[in-house]
Amino acid sequence: MDKEAPKRTETKKTVQKKTTAKKGTAAKARSGKKLSGAKKKKKARRILISIRVGLVLLAVFFVILAVIKLVKPSLLTKNYFEVASEEVDDSKPEIDVELLTVNPYSRPGTKTGKITGIVMHYTANPGATAMANRDYFEGLKDSHITKSSSNFIVGLDGEIVQCVPTWEMAYASNERNIDTVSIECCHPDESGVFFDETYQSMVKLCAWLCLKFDLSEKDIIRHYDVTEKICPKYFVEDEKAWENFREDVKKAIKKAK
């Protein structure tokens, strides 16, 4: 009887098990490689999709910025700026620029921020001309009586005098001096009612300023709306007249466009 036979049989079985185990390990390795390759492809696809989505969102962002720049450019800045366009140039009324001397009492030289409104005033000086009111402001540098001025004055005959640049603050509207343009309007008597020539120039001036600073008629306010002072008297006492004025400015803006 061959005593070595069982040993050979056991050895053979052991070899077969090892061979089978190696084959199984190799199969798992191949399977693992396949899975790893699939994962890499999925990851690559996800990255590609993310890049495409990012590019689309970036394109949409720039389109929105372009639309805002065309429709409402003032939203893109907090600093002083003016709209440059043919509409602005064509709608500009005739203005007599008679700037005040820089001084602490009527033209401090303080730079404004972004213009967000237009404030209407009346001179409360019946019968006085635009230049007479302008000269009063100029004289404050010597008299030191008070601090007062306005960016523009509209006269009894519709003339428009500019006293302070729109990028500089005038002493007219209290806490709104820094972000508004002020307009003083002359009137013939105590009622504060304006001559038609004055009224028409007020409309033209406001429409031009709205276009220049990307504003609407809703951004035009009265001194009264800032401090509750009865100014302009006519527009405070006759609310309908005030509404009609802003509506006339709205029409002038649309006509200019």
One pLDDT digit (tens) per residue for the chain, 257 residues: 444 555 555 555 554 555 555 555 555 555 555 557 777 777 778 888 888 888 888 877 767 666 655 566 667 788 999 999 999 999 999 999 999 999 999 999 999 999 999 999 999 999 999 999 999 999 999 999 999 999 999 999 999 999 999 999 999 999 999 999 999 999 999 999 999 999 999 999 999 999 999 999 999 999 999 999 999 999 999 999 999 999 999 999 999 98
In this structure, the strands spanning 180-185 and 96-97 are: unpaired
Token pair, residue 131, equals: 């230049």
The full length of the chain comes to 257
Q: Rounded to an integer, what distance in angstroms lies between the CA atom of residue 196 and that of residue 206?
A: 15
Considering the entire predicted model, what is its pTM? 0.74
Phi, psi (rounded to 5 degrees) for 251: -65, -40
